[in-house]
Amino acid sequence: NAGVTQTPKFQVLKTGQSMTLQCAQDMNHNSMYWYRQDPGMGLRLIYYSASEGTTDKGEVPNGYNVSRLNKREFSLRLESAAPSQTSVYFCASETGTFEGKQFFGPGTRLTVL
């Protein structure tokens, strides 16, 4: 039982490059979330998916897209990376939606030059 896994752990991009962050959970959770964490800003919600086939914007969705591939997997795509997207990205999952405890992955540290 791995919980929530994320790949890659680290990534360096040049401005304008694209990439996809992968997230998978093996707890049969309905809801999945993508956050970014920046110093002094706390965790901010980018997008979430309350169930397979649905996605919704969070607090800071601009510059990102998501795909809920199936119940297990939820990916985050940066189409044209910008230095402002340098951050640590966390994926999380939860049985319900915004009501119980969330399980977080280990994070992806992304640097955009």
Partner 1 sequence: SQKIEQNSEALNIQEGKTATLTCNYTNYSPAYLQWYRQDPGRGPVFLLLIRENEKEKRKERLKVTFDTTLKQSLFHITASQPADSATYLCALVGNEKLTFGTGTRLTIIP
Binding residues for partner 1, rule: CB under 8 A, are: 4, 40-45, 90, 92, 97-107
Beta carbons of 93 and 73 less than 8 angstroms apart: no
Which residue, 44 or 71, has its beta carbon nearer to partner 1? 44
Which residue, 28 or 99, has its beta carbon nearer to partner 1? 99
Least Cβ distance, residue 70 to partner 1 (angstroms):
22
Least Cβ distance, residue 16 to partner 1 (angstroms):
28
Going by their DSSP bridges, the two strands 10-13 and 108-112 should be labelled as parallel
Least Cβ distance, residue 61 to partner 1 (angstroms):
14
Which residue, 19 or 104, has its beta carbon nearer to partner 1? 104
Least Cβ distance, residue 22 to partner 1 (angstroms):
15
CA distance 91 to 58: 13
Which residue, 59 or 79, has its beta carbon nearer to partner 1? 59
